[in-house]
Structure 1
Amino acid sequence: MAIPEVVRKPPFNITRASHVYLTVRDLDASRRFYTEILGLVVSAQEGGTLYLRGIEEACHHSLVLRQDDAPPACDAVGMRVTDAEELALAEDHFARAGITARRVERPYENGTLRVTFDDRSPPVELCAGMPLLPRLLNDYPAQKGGRALRLDHYQCVVPDVDATAAHFMALGFRPSKFTTSVETGQIVSIFLHRKNNPHDIVLAQGGGPRLHHFCYIVSDLAALLRACDVAASFGLGRNVEHGIGRHGPPNGVFAYLRDPDGHRIELGLPPMQYMDAEERANTWDSNQGQALIPWGALPPQRWREEASSFAGVDAGEAPAARWLPQV
């Protein structure tokens, strides 16, 4: 199936990936992992809920952790819209399109709309704004671990990349890169973005919908190494699951870590910029392992097979991912 045409004038304005909601079993252990190893800072803690942000982020939170005795899961991935007026336009658009969207109350968010495209796509929450807090980018004594700067993107595993990508592209998301199966020609992964780098959400084929990982940007290789070293000093060295390595597209250096509940986080160096409307998506095929990861080991099998469930969503069977050559 061909990639849909880019919608140049979307029905409302999504600006970027902005925040993710996770459930965890032990909030204290998770707080230690995200603050001491990744270097996120605490914006607020209310009972069993913890709000965190990167040191470059001024908006209240980019990660919300909620303690729960149920198996760890992702509640939703969040996207920002420009303002409350755009959120109202989004609500009207989904009502006309017959897509389920309802207002939900989220602390520290100035209007939130929860969108369910279908049972094979990730649940998305659109947020119109948050309170502002001081950036800690220049507060060097307060910085820890990998000094994570900002949330960059999500990767979700979905059973039908074409169908889910069409939902996002109808809202103005542009493709920067896609991978096709060498056997069938089918699209097995696609990078979609609203901000000016290659990805806000990546969709990859497999059993789902599930959250494969979310990514924070770090400043440099020293910060990436420090996060891994601090993980090891806390007895979590084996939680560094994959990397350090380099992605061919979009040329980013990365490491993947697992938090105490198994949620996967990518730490990456600042990615290339992808800005102009006339730029075309790069095409790769699933046999180009050397191009997809030019150096460093290919990912372990669990990286292909394991991902976080979305709360209340039946992901069905979870076969190995098919967007990279098998190991």
Structure 2
Amino acid sequence: MRYGCRHCRARRIRFPVEFFHEIERAGRLIQRYDIRHGAEIARLDHFNICTPDIPAAYAHYKSLGFGCSETIEGDKHELYAAWMYRKQTVHDVAFTGGAGPRLHHLGVATHESHQVLRCADIFGALRKKHHIERGPGRHGVSNAFYLYLRDPDGHRVENYTSDYYTGDPDHETYRWNVHDDHRRGFWGNAVIESRYKEATPVHDLDGHPQPVSDALLDESAVQVGADGLG
């Protein structure tokens, strides 16, 4: 099944998605400590997408049954970012305001924070520390303990842990103000410009590059604490 966001189609802003209905089963590996190596990645967890129109993306995924765990909002409740979920964690897809459609990062989860630190140590030992873009640190949004990496092609990968359960039926969206410097950096190194400005272009389902539109709101223009770029 293939589709483009109907809210965005008129503005030619689409992030292509394909659905599948079956998958080959693998054996249970949760306690196979003997075969784990490196950062001990447990699962593919989420995608973070740069989109110029956060309200349109939010409305479309809400119509598909996604919940919203957290947002970043302005003083008049304008949306700068939204974290949305179907499984019972903080997010399966996050929308970050920015020129798009582009892929900001792919998130992979580990079970414990020391595995994120071990990942950083491995990159250091291999003299590949230049692939570490930011971290380790902890986000305010999602509570994630994170390490951002760039693969050899420049794509961004987040190795993270320590988000929280969202399965309660009355789970409420936590709304961060865009002026709160804890929102993306609870502690850790300050945000760097590439965090907001660089992302991976996407292709449509026929393999053609998608045109990129400028953002309606620019979070990086908000000058606040360690998380401002002004």
Residue 114 in structure 1 maps to residue 2 in structure 2: yes
- Which of 259, 264, 274 is the aligned partner of 2:156? 264
Matches of 2:61 and 2:216 in 1, distance apart?
Answer: 24
Quick one: percent identity of the two aligned structures?
28
Q: Which amino acid aligns with 1:136?
A: L
Specify whether residues 283 and 320 from structure 1 end up closer, same or farther in structure 2 by C-alpha distance, changes over 3 A only: closer
- Which of 306, 310, 313 is the aligned partner of 2:210? 313
- Cα deviation digits, residues 94-145 of structure 1 (max 9, x gap): xxxxxxxxxxxxxxxxxxx122113323211111121012243333342211
Q: Which amino acid aligns with 2:102?
A: R
Matches of 2:111 and 2:77 in 1, distance apart?
Answer: 37
Residue 249 in structure 1 maps to residue 141 in structure 2: yes
300-309 or 138-147: which moved more? 138-147
- Cα deviation digits, residues 26-69 of structure 1 (max 9, x gap): xxxxxxxxxxxxxxxxxxxxxxxxxxxxxxxxxxxxxxxxxxxx
Give the aligned partner of residue 178 of structure 2.
Answer: 286
- Aligned to 2:84, the other structure's residue is in SS state strand
* Structure 1 position 254, deviation (Å): 0.8
Residue 191 in structure 1 maps to residue 79 in structure 2: no
Give the aligned partner of residue 236 of structure 1.
Answer: 128
Please tell me whether the aligned partners of residues 107 and 157 of structure 2 are also in contact (alpha carbons under 8 angstroms). Answer: yes
Please tell me whether the aligned partners of residues 210 and 310 of structure 1 are also in contact (alpha carbons under 8 angstroms). Answer: yes
Q: Which amino acid aligns with 1:293?
A: G
Please tell me whether the aligned partners of residues 204 and 321 of structure 1 are also in contact (alpha carbons under 8 angstroms). Answer: no
**Structure 1: 5+ residue runs without aligned partners?**
1-112
- Which of 17, 21, 34 is the aligned partner of 1:128? 21
Q: CA RMSD in A?
A: 2.0
Matches of 2:38 and 2:215 in 1, distance apart?
Answer: 33
Q: Which amino acid aligns with 2:228?
A: Q
Please tell me whether the aligned partners of residues 13 and 213 of structure 2 are also in contact (alpha carbons under 8 angstroms). Answer: no
Specify whether residues 310 and 295 from structure 1 end up closer, same or farther in structure 2 by C-alpha distance, changes over 3 A only: same
Specify whether residues 303 and 125 from structure 1 end up closer, same or farther in structure 2 by C-alpha distance, changes over 3 A only: same
TM-score, normalization: structure 2? 0.86
Specify whether residues 318 and 178 from structure 1 end up closer, same or farther in structure 2 by C-alpha distance, changes over 3 A only: closer
Q: Which amino acid aligns with 1:306?
A: E
Please tell me whether the aligned partners of residues 14 and 210 of structure 2 are also in contact (alpha carbons under 8 angstroms). Answer: no
- Once the two structures are superposed, the pairs formed by residues 24-63 of structure 1 within 5 Å of their partners are none
TM-score, normalization: structure 1? 0.61
**Structure 2: 5+ residue runs without aligned partners?**
204-208
- Cα deviation digits, residues 172-200 of structure 1 (max 9, x gap): 01111111124x54101011111111111
Higher relative contact order (CA 8 A, sep 6+): 2
Give the aligned partner of residue 48 of structure 1.
Answer: none
Q: Which amino acid aligns with 1:205?
A: G
Matched positions, count: 214
Please tell me whether the aligned partners of residues 73 and 178 of structure 2 are also in contact (alpha carbons under 8 angstroms). Answer: yes
